[in-house]
């Protein structure tokens, strides 16, 4: 090695390694895969096609492994007594620590219970659970026996739960009698009962059994033979359940996310590629931290990959918190960090902004001296929040790692791995990731120009399909720019090649880091008989990033009223969940449309943002006078 090679700057060494990773893809991923425990070695590394009509993604074919073995059994020799999960209750009065051996034991007992109830490899199991250790236990037990888990965020309504359970063909649902969040009681079992009924009566799907964790002492409706108490199923003398040898491409889970059109999409992630990718990307995120706290709910991909699978696969301690990080007081998050000596925090910009606005109250009497790294995910982070996070919350001692990725990508894709860190930039693609920015015709754009973020080649953590609808998968992600994975995000690159993500280019909203489809919200509102037409757009919001803004026109003869706006909000709450309820309902007799009748959302987005002056190109607008009248009325 020459002297000049030895004195690489970090950026240079990143560039060299990055170049190697995308030109020697097989060699790079073979090495990454070697960090897992395989039951049978793989024969092929990458067999993938992004060609329109033939999209097919397979990694590590021929290999066999089990995800729960990688997350549990293989650590027993070295860290059997080490904490795998530290859990803290909603009210902060209770904490539980499960060592790796205790967690494995619980997972085996629950796996045995699932087998007793007739669940087998390939069956889908839905979870509608609070953030409690049992949720991790149930997920890992599914992975152990090869059942496909389908976690639905417990903030979704019973209708949304039912639609997802039916779509995924779920045989069983695991829930708690009640959940606790921010001091509120959530009657999860009641919602599950309603969802099962809706599944059966309206959607023609029977979810045959439920397992219910007794989280509180309240009574719940009970159907013998269908409902089973968690604690009654955990039989200490149950035989040990060995991990099932799964094919690399056997599905590990289905996770629903919102798109710009139609109903939620069940993205399918498979066994080997997902785990290799989770494990490989975690190194860049967590560095050498030991006690890792990802605040995401397990109902989202961040909770799957970085609250659960990656930290356990790497043998760390993962912190799990039942409640809301800013509740009951703003210093809750900081207190938990001190109490459990958290050395890495991974959270969302919306939370950072809300803590920042609380000021000193967010810090309370905490010191946060255990922290060594800070991460953010979910939406673009504004430089002020980034600086506050690093300088105030992190005492100026910890790097901030902004990570861009999606439910579809399985793990982090872009993050400041080159060592250079600019507030607001997700920065550089991880090794093996061929990110690029193209215009609407698919041509690469020069630096400093905004375009569409695409990925030019496959990576192991990529979702393989939309459950039951591969055509939609191809159409959504591979038809816009042929040969590329289309992310749906806008971005630009600066002169150093660093990526800056500017947000969605499609009709998907990001409210407090939660992804919402405008089409779903619109269809919930139009289901009301008084409503004629609806257009939902995002409105910039100082803390949430975006909030839901609905333009609503009414049927002839219908009158605007407070009770009607309440009814519309209730519809959204019932159809989707509280997270999708519009902040603003804007009654209007007029919606700007093209001559072909398409609503000009671009114009509505500007109107919602209060930008009435520069509405852009209006040449396609059908009714110019209508718009003038609308603007005057505002
Ligand atoms: C969308 C994906 C897996 C992350 C959690 C959300 C936005 C995510 C960033 C970031 C700017 C970001 C994108 C993306 N997003 N991370 N660091 N900077 N935007 O997963 O629900 O699938 O949402 O979240 O718009 O497409 P998701």
ipTM of predicted complex: 0.99
Q: Cα-flanking dihedrals φ and ψ of residue 76, to 5°?
A: -60, -35
At 344-382, the pLDDT tens digits run 999 999 999 999 999 999 999 999 999 999 999 999 999
Other CB atoms within a 10 A radius of the CB of residue 141 amount to: 27
Return the pLDDT at 2. Answer: 31
CA dist 513 and 522 (Å) reads: 20
What secondary structure letter does DSSP report for 503? E
Average pLDDT over residues 601-624: 86
Ligand 1 pocket test: pick from 485, 514, 515 the residue with the most ligand atoms within 8 Å of its Cβ.
515
Q: What is the pLDDT of residues 497-526, one digit of tens each?
A: 999 999 899 889 999 989 999 999 999 999
**pLDDT confidence band for 239 (50 / 70 / 90):** confident
How many Å lie between the centroid of ligand 1 and the Cα of residue 438? 19
Q: What per-residue confidence (pLDDT) applies to 3?
A: 30
**Residue 412 Cα: closest atom of ligand 1:** 3
Residues 284 and 417: beta-carbon distance below 8 Å: yes
Atom of ligand 1 nearest to the CA of 414: 17
Q: Are 71 and 313 spatial neighbours (Cβ–Cβ below 8 Å)?
A: yes
Residue 10's pLDDT is 60
Determine the Cα–Cα distance for residues 601 and 220; give it in Å rounded to an integer. 45
The span from the CA of 216 to the CA of 59, in Å, is 44
pLDDT confidence band for 24 (50 / 70 / 90) = very high
pLDDT score of 9 more than 70? no
User: Could you tell me where the DSSP H helices lie in 117-218?
Assistant: 133-145, 158-168, 188-201
Per-residue model confidence (pLDDT) at position 615 = 83
Give me 419's structure tokens.
């060592």
What pLDDT is recorded for position 1? 30
In this structure, of 82-91, 504-513, 613-622, the range with the lowest mean pLDDT score is 613-622
Phi, psi of 226 (to 5 degrees): -110, -45
Ligand 1 contacts CB of residue 409 (under 6 A): no
Measured at the CA of 404, the angle between CA 403 and CA 407, to 5 degrees, comes to: 115
pLDDT confidence tier of residue 628, bands split at 50, 70 and 90 = confident
Sequential DSSP letters for 48-106:
EE--TT--EEEESTT-EE-HHHHHTGGGHHHHTTSEEEEEE-TTSS-EEEEEHHHHHHH
Q: 586: burial class by Cβ within 10 Å (0-12, 13-18, 19+)?
A: middle
Q: How confident is the model at residue 8 (pLDDT cuts 50, 70, 90)?
A: very low
Handedness of CA 309, 311, 313, 316 (dihedral sign): negative
| Count of alpha carbons within 13 angstroms of residue 158, beta-carbon side | 17
Q: Would you say the CB of residue 379 lies under 6 angstroms from ligand 1?
A: yes
- Rounded-to-integer distance, Cα 441 and Cα 454, Å: 12
Q: Rounded to an integer, what is the distance from CA 98 to the centroid of its chain?
A: 25
* Percent residues over pLDDT 90 in the chain: 87
Indicate the helix (H) or strand (E) that contains 269.
strand 265-270
User: How many distinct helices (H) and strands (E) make up the chain?
Assistant: 21, 32
Question: Which residue of 352, 501, 506, 512 sits with most ligand 1 atoms within 8 Å of its CB, as the best mutation to test the pocket?
Answer: 501
Q: Residues of 24-57 as b/e, b for ≥16 C-beta within 10 angstroms? A: ebeebbeebbeebebeeebeebbebebeeeebeb
Ordered alpha helix ranges (H), 576-623: 601-608
Q: What are the pLDDT digits (tens) for 388-424?
A: 999 999 999 999 999 999 999 999 999 998 777 899 8
What CA–CA distance (Å, rounded) separates 472 from 469? 5
Distant-in-sequence, close-in-space partners of 285: CB < 8 Å, separation ≥ 6: 306, 310, 344, 346, 373, 375, 401, 403, 412, 415
Q: Is residue 15 predicted with pLDDT exceeding 50? A: yes
Tell me what percent of the residues of the chain surpass a pLDDT of 70.
98
Question: Which pLDDT tens digit goes with each residue over 278-304?
Answer: 999 999 999 999 999 999 999 999 999
Is residue 565 very low, low, confident or very high in pLDDT (cuts 50, 70, 90)?
A: very high
301 lines ligand 1 (CB under 6 A): yes
What is d(CA 161, CA 382) in angstroms, rounded to the nearest whole number?
33
Q: Are strands 209-213 and 227-229 parallel, antiparallel or unpaired?
A: parallel
Q: Are 520 and 264 in contact (CB under 8 A)?
A: yes
Low-confidence winner among 205-219, 360-374, 584-598 (lowest mean pLDDT): 584-598
pTM score, whole prediction: 0.94
What is the pLDDT at residue 631? 81
- Report how far ligand 1's centroid is from the alpha carbon of 406 (Å): 5
Residue 165, SS3? Answer: helix
- What pLDDT score was predicted for residue 238? 86
Question: Which residue CA neighbors atom 3 of ligand 1 most closely?
Answer: 406
Alpha-carbon dihedral 144, 458, 284, 304, rounded to 10 degrees: -30
Give a three-class secondary structure readout of 411-458: CCCEECCCCCCCCCCCEEECCCCCEEEECCCCCECCCCCCEEEEECCC
Question: Is the distance from the beta carbon of residue 317 to the nearest atom of ligand 1 less than 6 Å?
Answer: no
Contacts of 210 (CB under 8 A, 6+ apart): 172, 173, 174, 175, 189, 192, 196, 226, 227, 228
Predicted local confidence at residue 33, as pLDDT? 98
Asked whether 501 lines ligand 1 (CB < 6 A), one says: yes
Q: Is the CB of 488 under 6 A from ligand 1?
A: yes
Q: What band does 426 get if pLDDT is binned at 50, 70 and 90?
A: confident
Calculate the average pLDDT of the chain.
94
Asked if residue 424 has a cis previous peptide bond (ω within 30° of 0), the answer is no
- Which residues fall within 8 angstroms of residue 304, CB to CB, at 6 or more apart? 139, 151, 253, 255, 298
């Amino acid at each position: 090695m020459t002297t000049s090679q030895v004195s690489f700057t970090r950026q240079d060494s990143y560039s060299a390694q990055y170049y190697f990773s995308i030109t020697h893809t097989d060699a790079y991923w073979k090495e990454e895969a070697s960090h897992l425990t395989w039951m049978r070695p793989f024969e092929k590394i990458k067999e993938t096609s992004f060609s329109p009509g033939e999209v097919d993604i397979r990694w590590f074919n021929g290999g066999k492994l089990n995800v729960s073995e990688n997350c549990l059994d293989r650590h027993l020799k070295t860290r059997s007594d080490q904490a795998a999960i530290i859990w803290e209750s909603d009210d902060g009065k209770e904490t539980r620590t499960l060592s790796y051996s205790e967690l494995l034991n619980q997972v085996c007992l629950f796996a045995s219970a699932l087998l007793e109830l007739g669940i087998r490899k390939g069956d889908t199991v839905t979870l509608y659970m609070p953030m409690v250790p049992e949720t991790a236990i149930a997920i890992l037990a599914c992975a152990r026996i090869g059942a496909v888990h389908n976690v639905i965020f417990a903030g979704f309504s019973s209708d949304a739960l039912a639609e997802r359970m039916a779509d995924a063909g779920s045989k069983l649902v695991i829930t708690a009698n009640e959940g606790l969040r921010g001091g509120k009681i959530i009657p999860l079992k009641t919602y599950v009962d309603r969802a099962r009924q809706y599944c059966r009566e309206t959607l023609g799907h029977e979810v045959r059994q439920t397992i219910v964790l007794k989280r509180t002492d309240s009574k719940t409706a009970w159907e013998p033979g269908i409902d089973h108490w968690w604690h009654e199923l955990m039989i200490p003398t149950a035989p040990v359940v060995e991990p099932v040898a799964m094919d690399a491409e056997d599905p590990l889970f289905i996770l629903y996310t919102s798109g710009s059109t139609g109903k939620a999409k069940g993205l399918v992630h498979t066994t080997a590629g997902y785990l290799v990718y989770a494990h490989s990307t975690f190194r860049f995120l967590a560095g050498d931290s030991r006690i890792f706290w990802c605040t995401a709910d397990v109902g989202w991909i961040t909770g799957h990959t970085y609250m659960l699978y990656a930290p356990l696969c790497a043998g760390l301690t993962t912190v799990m918190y039942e409640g809301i990080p800013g509740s009951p007081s703003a210093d809750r998050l900081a207190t938990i960090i001190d109490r459990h000596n958290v050395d890495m925090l991974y959270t969302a910009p919306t939370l950072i902004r809300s803590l920042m606005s609380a000021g000193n109250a967010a810090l309370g009497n905490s010191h946060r001296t255990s922290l060594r790294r800070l991460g953010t995910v979910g939406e673009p982070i504004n430089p002020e929040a980034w600086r506050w996070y690093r300088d105030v919350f992190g005492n100026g001692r910890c790097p901030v790692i902004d990570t861009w990725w999606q439910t579809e990508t399985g793990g982090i894709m872009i993050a400041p791995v080159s060592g250079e860190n600019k507030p607001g930039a997700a920065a550089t693609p991880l090794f093996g990731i061929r990110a690029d920015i193209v215009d609407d015709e698919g041509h690469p754009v020069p630096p400093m120009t905004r375009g569409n973020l695409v990925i030019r080649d496959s990576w192991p953590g990529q979702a393989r399909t939309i459950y039951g609808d591969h055509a939609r998968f191809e159409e959504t992600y591979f038809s816009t720019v042929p040969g590329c994975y289309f992310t749906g995000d806008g971005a630009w690159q600066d002169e150093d090649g660093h990526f800056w993500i500017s947000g969605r280019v499609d009709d998907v909203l990001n409210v407090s880091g939660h992804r919402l489809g405008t089409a779903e919200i619109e269809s919930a509102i139009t289901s009301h008989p008084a409503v004629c037409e609806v257009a939902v757009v995002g409105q910039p919001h100082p803390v949430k990033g975006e909030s839901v803004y609905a333009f609503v026109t009414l049927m002839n003869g219908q009158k605007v009223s407070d009770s009607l706006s309440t009814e519309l909000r209730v519809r959204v709450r019932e159809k989707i969940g509280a997270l999708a309820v519009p902040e603003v309902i804007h009654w209007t007799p007029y919606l700007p449309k093209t001559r072909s009748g398409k609503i000009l959302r671009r114009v509505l987005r500007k109107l919602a943002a209060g930008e009435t002056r520069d509405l852009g190109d209006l040449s396609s607008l059908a009714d110019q006078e209508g718009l003038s009248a609308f603007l005057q009325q505002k």
